[in-house]
Structure 1
């Protein structure tokens, strides 16, 4: 049986912090748990990198904030499915 995973891509400061460009993580995973999962693997990443990053799920920008923090409930919360692709995209500045 194939391993149940999704792929996560790290760019710029996220790649520097993790020392990786890409890795696979166990799936399914609630989107709201993504940052805590990464924090457990890379202590300090949430504060130093993720707080200012955008996140895309299968090519679509998504909000990682847990539904309960937004004043809603967790019903309908996005889940990162097996085979999905997530990208951690630090802010881009232009000059």
Structure 2
């Protein structure tokens, strides 16, 4: 892995409005369990305003955030975002 290894993160809807960006690059590798901490450091208040109710995908796969963030009994997963991967922060979709 190179010294400047990164992954690309895409922000949609409220996540994009909060960050003022639609995409940016972050250092890789990064465990999904640490991603929200990194985003909170960059964008104070983002965890409560956006991340608490969003979904997350790494590549083409949705991530089980409860498992990754240690909510409940599950300790499965432990997804690590690797160099070159694409991550999407997806706010909840309303129906009606």
Q: Would you say same fold, with TM above 0.5?
A: yes
Structure 1 length-normalised TM: 0.87
CA 1:67 to 1:51, structure 2 compared with 1: closer, same or farther past 3 Å? closer
1:37 counterpart = 2:35: no
Q: Partner of 1:63 in structure 2?
A: 64
Once the 2 structures are TM-superposed, how far is the Cα of residue 62 of structure 1 from its aligned partner?
A: 0.2
Matches of 2:22 and 2:43, distance apart in 1: 14
Identify if the C-alpha distance between structure 1 residues 67 and 18 changes in structure 2 by more than 3 Å, giving closer, same or farther.
Answer: closer
Q: Offset at 1:59? A: 1.3
Quote how far apart the aligned CAs of 1:2 are. 6.7
Who is 1:17 aligned against?
A: 18
CA RMSD of aligned residues (A): 1.9
Instruction: State the distance in 2 between where 1:67 and 1:93 align.
Output: 24
Q: Distance in 2 between matches of 1:32 and 1:40?
A: 14
- Structure 1: 5+ residue runs without aligned partners? none
Distance in 1, Cα, partners of 2:69 & 2:78: 7
| TM-score (norm. length: structure 2) | 0.86
Alpha-carbon distance in 1 for matches of 2:71, 2:8: 26
Question: What residue is the counterpart of 2:53 in the other structure?
Answer: 52
TM-superposed deviation, 1:76: 5.1
- The ranges of structure 1 where at least 4 consecutive aligned residues each deviate by more than 3 angstroms after the TM superposition are 65-73
Per-residue deviation, 1:49: 0.3
